[in-house]
Amino acid sequence: MSMARCSVLVAEDDDDLRESLSLVLRSEGFRTQAAANGQQALALCRAQRPDVVLLDLHMPVMDGYEFLRQQSRDPQLAGVPVIGITGQPTEPLPSQVKATLKKPFLVEELLHLISRECR
């Protein structure tokens, strides 16, 4: 799959970081959607299934862990790979989390992980 056809859902509650991540991904040829919490992310996933979810694990309304629980119960979404992002140490994560980025992270590391899932 070419990067231009690869869609990434950015679920991040920090407005500036969410917009920055979306801008970087679009500049690299990815299609993006953005959500400020897990509830919005789940609704966007159901409306237009992304190829990869970039998921902040600690958000208001619905955190990343609850998003993962609900995603795993939805046959349409269970196979969508997730890259977790966090500023805190994390507990063991469900199998759909393919990698975890600890804030702050390098853009190159982010792009490498997303490109790996968009093959």
Q: What is the pLDDT of residues 20-70, one digit of tens each?
A: 999 999 999 999 999 999 999 999 999 999 999 999 988 889 899 999 999
**What local confidence, expressed as pLDDT, does residue 43 receive?**
96
For residue 1, pLDDT over 60 is answered with no
Cis peptide preceding 89, ω within 30 of 0: no
For residue 74, pLDDT over 60 is answered with yes
**What local confidence, expressed as pLDDT, does residue 96 receive?**
75
- Tell me how far CA of residue 97 lies from CA of 4, 36, 53, 75, in angstroms: 23, 19, 9, 16
Contact 4, 31 (CB under 8 A): yes
Q: 92: domain range?
A: 3-117
Contact 18, 41 (CB under 8 A): no
Q: What is the pLDDT of residues 78-103, one digit of tens each?
A: 999 999 988 876 667 777 788 888 88
Please report how many Cα atoms fall inside a 13 Å half-sphere around the Cα of residue 33, on the Cβ side.
22
Q: Give burial (CB, 10 Å; 0-12/13-18/19+) of 16.
A: exposed
Domain count, the chain: 1
Strand partners, 99: 83
**What local confidence, expressed as pLDDT, does residue 90 receive?**
61
Residue 29's CATH number:
3.40.50.2300
Alpha-carbon gap, residue 27 to 24, rounded angstroms: 5
Determine if the pTM surpasses 0.85.
Answer: yes
